Amino acid sequence: MHKVIFYPVQNGDTSQIILDNGKRILFDFRHLKCGEDEDEPAIDLKTQLKEELLKAKRDYFDVLALTHGDLDHILHSTEFFELQHANKYQGNGRVKVNELWVPAAMLLESSTIDQRSAEFVIWRREAQHRLREGKGIRVFSKPEMLKTWLEKNGLTLESRRHLITDAGQVVPSFSLASDGVEFFCHSPFVKHVDDGDDLRNDASLIFQVRFEVMGVQTNYFAVGDSTCDVLEDIVRITKWHGNEDRLKWNLYNNPHHCSHHALNPDKGDKETVPLPLVKELLLHGQPGAYIVSSSKPIPDTKEAYQQKQPPHIQARNCYERYLRQVSGRRFVVTMEEPNERKPQPLEFDITSAGVSLNMTGNSGVNIIVSSPAPRAG
Amino acid sequence: MADIHTNFGEVISELTEDALTIPISRRVFRACSTHKFFELIELRCFIHDGQRTAEMLVVDCTNDGVPTRNEIGILYQERIGLIFSTEETKIPEVRALRKDFPVTLHQNLVRRDEPASLCLYFEPWEVVQRSWTPQSHLNRVLWWLSETAKGTLHREDQPVEPFYFRSPFEIVLPPDFDEKIRHPDFLLTLKRVEDRVFLGCFLQASKKRNVQLELTCLVIALQPVTHGSIEPFPHDLGTLDKQFAARGATLFNLLCTEIKRSVNGEGIPKTSDSKTLLILQIPVQRNDNSVVERNEYKAFCFNINLGQLGEACGVLTDGADGSYYDIPSFGADLSSNDAWRSIEIEPIEITSSLTHETARRASGIITDTAEFFGVLAGVGALGSSLADIWYREAWGTWTFVDIDYIKPHNLARHTAKHFQIGQLKANAAKQIVEENYCDGYAKASAIVDSVTNWSNVDLKTAVESADLVVDATTTLAVPRDLAIADLKRSASIFLTPSGHGSVLLLEDSDRNVRLDGLEAQYYGAILNNDWGEQHLRGHQGHLWVGAGCRDVSSVISVELLQVHAATLARQVRLRCEHPDAVISVWHVEEQSGTISANKVPVAANLTVAANGWTIVWNTHLQDKARQIRSTNLPNETGGVLLGYIDQKLQTIFVVDILSAPLDSAADSSGFTRGTQGLEEQIQIAQSWTANIVSYIGEWHSHPLGISTKPSEHDIRLLSYLAEILNRDGLPGVMLIVGENQETWSIQEIQE
């Protein structure tokens, strides 16, 4: 049985794939200081992950995939992981990362002086260090700038080609045969990082993760932050290559905390209308599919319709419409499950019988004993 | 409800809490209203004689735990009927209302055309209701659906189809059912125990004619069928036949043959029975060509008598004279007649008698260690309790040996019953253990004799051939005689006089340390352990009373006896699996009931022959003597020997070696044993061991470089001992301890 777990980190992302063979792939890391407060609904991510690793008798993740460098995807991560490029980020119970996955943009982005100690800069140094060392790293896409950077560092593209995966390729570190999983890379593709010098947010990692258990396949569309134009490009390119199969999903992690920008730049009054190709992507949902929104609760209230920042109720309405249309199951919000008071990690089990949402941790007693009780007076 | 759902119960027009009258259904109504995954659809009720007997909440239950593509066929959303009875003693029912809800494990058997009934709880309602809440009930429904969909809802001990409605009868099959079912000379007969329970047993076919039967019972062994998926209950004979046909077995033809065999050409009266029972043995194989893995048993009841059944099947004809007769068949295909297909069948619960295998499984015993022959010597209170325990666990096949008979006072502790007063204990024990099982199934033997009467050939053979001989005679003599007997391995068990202690002595499997040597080491342990002082307290100068109970006045409650019997039965069983010798002692703390266990390390025996006597001591004592010698070097040292003498065996058992009294005089050339505290020490030894252990002789050491050959002084000392001890008819015993060497000397004054 494989697992896909989404952690309640408010408007941000952290999810983990645990394979049947024990390998762990963590996507993004957003630790909220406020989550350490037991009265706070958001999870204390550091403690949660540490405990999970302890139970599994591990001190490392097989893969840490940083989908892009925005703070809501890496917050406090440089305090948690062991970084190889500098001693000060080592030891003291820091968690090791065997293989770091980053989009090329994250390795190349420039920063201002003020940003020197920003976490994305620290990760940039780490990624650059690993690429120079030639191990423990995978870079997604190879824009011209990457080649230039390599040359500047006295390296050739050829010597690092095995560490680079382009859109349209399957990540070589995993296979259906040996791990029961493959990661098909949809994004970033060169157009986006090479389109001028603007290495933007929308160049984040997007995979179709395909699980296989006893011949039964389950597809998970893992989208970091992205916008509708990127998604349209993905659909267009994938279709052009005759890879429509790679657009199917049984599980869809909707981009950018349920922002309407992932559907249409126009939010709409009651419901966002997806751009034609985004709509096509949504219609690739399979019967019984789930959509996960890694975000704060999305209530259907009058105020919610006025709200500027994501999550957008109009976007939710759109997703739910298409979910119904493909006979999907449920639109699940990380900060709503099983309740808004104390959300728990969403744990999807992937077996030969398909997808199910693990409900065992949801009893009142389990929830109470899994975290400190509110302070008594 | 839509067509896809079973129309069950009467609609209540309103969907409000007030429309419900049963408190529990109102509580669940409220829980459903706030539950994220339950949506109330409508309310229904069940009416009997104008009274509302139950209410049903029809809900749609959405379940994220159900895998999207489960092969079982449970859907993400299922329509469920939550039924609550006006009778508080009835467990809430849960029905899956979808007509094509899959047949799965853990469903209750339901009547024809009723919706599937989910078996949610393993325990009876009276237990469940103690922790039951409406919310937990709803969550349990979710759990049942998701676990069933995942195929993980499984408990070994749960019957595949638990009975929802009470079956009219219950049949207990005999343990030899598989063996005799195909035997033409035997017919299964059913003996009614209480109202609805029948005990089955096989009788010779010829005898059965004379037995007045209440029910006709047809027994059929089917051809092997292939392991299949679970099927819905067949409500008529035609469906039953079809289900078997699909799995590769024919039922109908065999049924016809069996009906004819039962009628036996003589005809049967029309009015004989009102019902007919059918018992099927169904051998199950994994696939068409594999071996039979197990037998399943099913039983059904027809609400017609054998004649009517035969007539419907086309094998009997109404003779118009009050009887049905066999129609001679000429190879006609009877199945073309369809009347039999619609005969209704009702399920009957079927259980199997206790077998050795099930008894062992229930006790966690593996068959490899349980199949052996044993002799249990002494079946008094303790022995009979062990016998009963071991037979209930099906551990071993035993021969009981005892010469005594049951007296009225024995019943206070013995397993015998009043009707057995006057019976010989060996026979009584045999009867009791055999009666734990179906008649004639379990086997035990009884030999009425004293245990060591080797002139009894049966007894001698039994003891010599047994894999294990257990002495529970609670006598001193039997274990000492067993120690020198030719046998495979023996153990001795007994209670202490107070009833608070019990003891196990078990020989090693090579018999290097036998019961007699273990007995001596056991006394040594009493003298050298904290528990020793209290261990045999309450003795009246003689040991081995207690469980022997020959002394009517001895007071040991049956509670204590059974505590020890259970401990000993288990420990003998467990320790026998290992080759090592065992000395173990248990004490029950009077007030708290705590049982403490003391395991005494067993030393290798040392046997020395001297002057017509055998001396039995051990390496532990040897080490002790050498240790005392070396700490006193360069001087000599010594002290007294404690032990006992078995005159019959001409054996001297050494129990302990004491160090020198403080007032002893010693130098590098000699040792004079003093007396300070010695008398008291010997009294303690006597008192703690129920006067078994006492002074038996003297020991002293020789310094470095001096042999252990007795010196002139030593020879004089030995003569002195012999002379004085002769007053009690005992020999003089002297041990000399040197560097890695000892010499025993014995002298007797010849009469």
For the cut 60, the answer to whether the pLDDT of residue B208 exceeds it is: no
Q: B307 and B384, same structural domain?
A: no
Residues of chain B neighbouring A359 (CB-CB closer than 8 A)? 64-65, 142-143, 146
Same domain, B117 and B74: yes
What is the mean predicted confidence (pLDDT) over B316-345?
76
Residue B210 in this model has a pLDDT that exceeds 80: no
Q: Which residues of A touch B62 (CB under 8 A)?
A: 330
Share of chain A above pLDDT 90, in %: 73
Asked if the bond preceding A143 is cis, omega within 30° of 0, the reply is no
Lowest mean pLDDT, pick from A57-71, B129-143, B156-170, B586-600: B156-170
Nearest CA distance, B137 vs chain A (angstrom): 12
Preferred mutation among B34, B60, B63, B69 to probe A, highest tally of A CBs within 10 A = B69
* CB-CB under 8 Å, B146 with A355: no
Please report where in the chains the tokens 């050795």 appear, as a residue: B356
Pairing between strand B582-588 and B501-506?
antiparallel
pLDDT one-digit tens code per residue, B247-272 = 778 889 889 888 888 777 677 777 66
pLDDT exceeds cutoff 60 at A202:
no
Among B318, B352, B386, the domain-final residue is B352
Question: What would the two tokens of residue B516 be?
Answer: 């007699």
Cα distances (angstroms) measured from residue A67 to each of A29, A107, A138, B178, B687: 10, 12, 12, 66, 85
For the stretch B655-709, pLDDT in tens is 999 999 998 888 888 898 888 888 889 889 988 988 889 899 999 999 988 889 9
Q: Are residues B96 and B137 in the same domain?
A: yes
Q: The domain that contains B465 carries what CATH number?
A: 3.40.50.720
The residue behind tokens 């024809």 is B112
Question: Mean pLDDT, chain A, as a whole number?
Answer: 90
Distance, CA of B735 to CA of B145 (rounded, Å): 81
Q: How far apart are CA A362 and CA A8, in angstroms?
A: 14
What pLDDT is stored for residue A194 in this prediction?
52
CB < 8 Å to A353, chain B:
67-71, 149-151
Mean pLDDT for the stretch of residues B554-560? 86
What's the number of CA atoms in the CB half-sphere (13 Å) around residue B320?
A: 0
Residue B539: which pLDDT band, with cuts at 50, 70 and 90? low
Highest-confidence range of B83-92, B279-288, B684-693, by mean pLDDT? B83-92
Q: What is the dihedral of CA B409, B414, B415, B421, to 10 degrees?
A: -40
Selected for mutation to probe chain A from B39, B62, B63, B64 (highest A CB count within 10 Å) is B64
Across A30-55, average pLDDT: 88
Please state, in angstroms and rounded to a whole number, the distance separating the CA atoms of residues B222 and B244.
9
pLDDT tens digits, B383-413: 999 999 999 999 999 999 999 999 999 999 9
Using the predicted structure, report yes or no on whether residue B1 has a pLDDT greater than 80. no
- Average pLDDT estimate for B599-611: 94
Distance in angstroms (rounded) separating the CA atoms of residues A332 and A280: 21
Q: How far is B124 from chain A (nearest CA, A)?
A: 23
**Best mutation target, A341, A356, A363, A366, to test chain B (most B CBs within 10 A):** A356
CA distance B745 to B718: 8
pLDDT of residue B552: 35
Give the residue on A whose Cα is nearest the Cα of B62: A329
B66 CA to chain A: closest CA distance, Å?
Answer: 5
CATH number of the domain to which B63 belongs: 3.10.110
Looking at every residue in chain B, the average pLDDT score rounds to 87
Buried b (16+ CB within 10 A) or exposed e, A290-323: bbbbbbbbbeeeeeeeeeeebbbbbbbbbbeebb
* C-alpha distance from A363 to closest chain B C-alpha (Å): 9
Do residues B616 and B515 share a domain? no
Task: Judge: B68–A216 Cβ closer than 8 Å, yes or no.
Answer: no
* B657 strand-pairing partners: B641
Do A359 and B149 make contact, defined as CB atoms within 8 angstroms? no
Of residues B125 and B465, more confidence is placed in B465
Q: How many domains does chain B have?
A: 4
Give the percent of chain B with pLDDT over 70.
Answer: 91
What pLDDT was estimated at residue A82?
96
Does residue A41 carry a pLDDT above 50? Answer: yes
Amino acid at B120: L
Residue A198: the pLDDT is 47
Q: Which of B67, B139, B146 shows the shortest C-beta gap to A354?
A: B67
- State the first-to-last Cα distance of chain B, in angstroms, to the nearest integer: 110
Residue with the bigger pLDDT between A187 and B1: it is A187
Nearest CA in chain A to B149: A353
pLDDT at residue B542, rounded to an integer: 47
Residue in B with minimal Cα distance to A329: B76
DSSP state of B79: E
Amino acid at B368: D
Q: Output the six-digit token pair for B128.
A: 């469940």
pLDDT of residue B469: 97
pLDDT at B2: 57
Tell me the pTM.
Answer: 0.68
DSSP secondary structure string for all residues of A61-122 = EEEEE-----HHHHTTHHHHB--SS-GGGS-TTPBEEEEEEEEHHHHH----GGGGGSHHHH
Q: Are B142 and B214 contained in the same domain?
A: no
Residue B163 located in a structural domain: no
CB < 8 Å to B67, chain A: 349, 351, 353-356
d(C-alpha B113, C-alpha B235), whole Å: 10
Of A287, A289, A356, the CB nearest to B66: A356
Q: Rounded to whole angstroms, what are the CA distances from A213 to A19, A27, A222, A360, B229? A: 11, 22, 19, 22, 22
Residue B158 included in any domain:
no
B3 found inside a domain: no
* pLDDT tens per residue across span B474-489: 888 899 999 999 999 9
Q: How many CA atoms lie within 13 A of B490 on its CB side?
A: 30
> Which amino acid appears at position B71 of this protein?
E
Q: CA of B62, closest CA in chain A: separation in Å?
A: 9
- Comparing CB atoms, the residue among B65, B69, B143 nearest residue A216 is B69
Segment among A173-187, A194-208, A325-339, A346-360 with least mean pLDDT:
A194-208
What is the band of B540 on the pLDDT scale with cuts at 50, 70, 90?
low
* Nearest residue to B99 (alpha-carbon basis) of B86, B110, B115, B84: B115
Contacts with A72 (C-beta within 8 Å, 6 or more apart), sequence order: A11, A12, A13, A30, A257
pLDDT of amino acid A274: 97
Residue B155 maps to a domain: no
Distance CA A230, CA B317 (A): 85
Pair B12, B81: CB distance under 8 Å? no
**CB-count burial class (<10 Å; 0-12, 13-18, 19+) for B205:** middle
| pLDDT for the residue numbered B546 | 32
User: What ipTM, to 2 d.p.?
Assistant: 0.84
Overall average pLDDT of the A33-37 stretch: 80
CA-CA distance, B528 to B535, in Å (whole number)? 12
Instruction: Please give the residue of chain B at the shortest CA–CA distance from A361.
Output: B65
**Chain B residues lying within 8 Å of A355, measured CB to CB:** 67-68
**Distance in Å, alpha carbon of B494 to nearest chain A alpha carbon:** 50
Looking at beta carbons, which residues of chain A come within 8 Å of B70? 353-354
B552 close to B409: Cβ distance less than 8 angstroms:
yes
Of the candidates B65, B71, B143, which has its C-beta nearest A356's C-beta?
Answer: B65
Per-residue model confidence (pLDDT) at position B335: 57
If asked whether residues B39 and B174 sit together in one domain, one would say no
Query: Measured between CA atoms, how close is A351 to chain B, in angstroms?
Result: 8
Closest CB to B64: pick one of A289, A330, A353.
A330
Contact yes or no for A357 and B65 at CB 8 A? yes
CB contact under 8 A, A356 and B149: yes
Give mean pLDDT, residues B440-457. Answer: 93
Which tokens is B507 given? Answer: 């020989």
B499: region left, alpha or beta (phi > 0 left; psi from -120 to 50 alpha): left
- pLDDT at residue B156, rounded to an integer: 42
pLDDT of residue B261: 80
CB A264 within 8 A of CB A228: yes
Which chain B residues contact residue A288 at CB under 8 A? 68-69, 76
Binary contact (B69, A354; C-beta < 8 A): yes
Give A331-371 pLDDT, tens digit per residue: 999 999 888 888 889 999 999 999 999 876 666 666 666 55
- pLDDT tens digit sequence for B346-373: 888 888 899 999 999 999 998 788 999 9
- B522 and B423 both lie in a single domain: yes
> Encoding tokens for residue B158?
């749960």
CA-based diameter of chain B, in Å? 118
Q: Are A353 and B149 in contact (CB under 8 A)?
A: yes
Q: Domains of chain A by range and CATH? A: 2-370 (3.60.15)
Distances (CA, A) of B279 to B159, B197, B268, B299: 17, 15, 20, 4
Domain with B505 in it = 358-543+553-600
> Looking at residue B176, what is its pLDDT?
84
Of B289, B317, B352, the one marking the end of a domain is B352
Given pLDDT bands bounded at 50, 70 and 90, which one contains residue B606? very high
Beta-strand relationship, A60-65 and A24-27: parallel
pLDDT digits (tens, 9 = 90+) for B627-664: 999 999 899 999 999 999 998 889 999 999 999 999 88
Residue at B1 is within a domain: no
pLDDT per position as a tens digit, A233-253: 999 999 999 999 999 999 999
Q: Distance between CA atoms of B697 and B639, rounded to whole angstroms?
A: 9
Residues A358, B65: C-beta atoms closer than 8 Å: yes
pLDDT bucket at A20, cuts 50 / 70 / 90: very high
| B142 min Cα distance to partner chain A (Å) | 9
What residues in A contact B65, CB-CB < 8 Å? 356-359
Is A353 in contact with B64 (Cβ distance < 8 A)? no
From chain A, pick out residues whose CB is under 8 angstroms from the CB of B141.
none
Instruction: Give the strands of the sheet with B316-318, arranged side by side.
Output: B268-269, B323-326, B316-318
Distances (CA, A) of A56 to A21, A96, A211, B44: 12, 14, 21, 50
Strand order in the sheet with B490-495: B445-447, B397-401, B373-377, B468-471, B490-495, B501-506, B582-588, B595-600
Measure CB to CB from residue B68 to each of A338, A356, A358 and give the nearest one.
Answer: A356
Instruction: Indicate if B594 and B644 belong to the same structural domain.
Output: no
* CA distances from residue B314 to A26, B234, B339, B658, B705 in whole angstroms, order as listed: 72, 21, 8, 94, 107
Please tell me the distance in Å from B25's CA to the nearest CA on chain A: 22
B274 and B391 assigned to the same domain: no
Give the pLDDT mean for A129-134: 95
* B68: nearest CB among A288, A358, A359: A288
Q: Which of A216, A330, A353 sits opposite B149 (nearest CB)?
A: A353
pLDDT band at residue A55 under the 50/70/90 scheme = very high
On the question of pLDDT at B130 being above 50, the answer is yes
Does residue B646 lie within any of the structural domains?
yes
> Do the chains contact at A288 and B76, CB–CB below 8 Å?
yes
Residues 6+ apart with CB under 8 A from A359: A338, B64, B65, B142, B143, B146
pLDDT higher than threshold 90 for residue A373? no
Indicate whether B447 and B415 sit together in one domain. yes
Listed in sequence order, the residues at least 6 apart from B657 whose beta carbon sits closer than 8 Å to its beta carbon are B621, B624, B625, B628, B639, B641, B642, B699, B735
Residue B156 lies in a domain: no
Q: Is residue B404 part of a domain?
A: yes
Q: Are residues B129 and B28 in the same domain?
A: yes
For B711, list phi and psi in degrees, rounded to 5: -80, 180
Clarify whether residues B207 and B312 are in a common domain: yes
Calculate how close chain A gets to B467, using CA atoms only, in Å: 48
Read off the pLDDT of each residue in B536-560 and give the average, rounded to a whole number: 57
pLDDT tens for A267-317 read 999 999 999 999 999 999 999 999 999 999 999 999 999 999 999 999 999
Domain CATH code at residue B704:
3.40.140.10
Would you tell me how many other CB atoms lie within 10 Å of the CB of residue A153?
11
The contact set of A with B (CB < 8 A) is: 216, 250, 286-289, 329-330, 338, 349, 351, 353-359, 363
Q: Could you tell me what percent of chain A has a pLDDT over 70?
A: 92
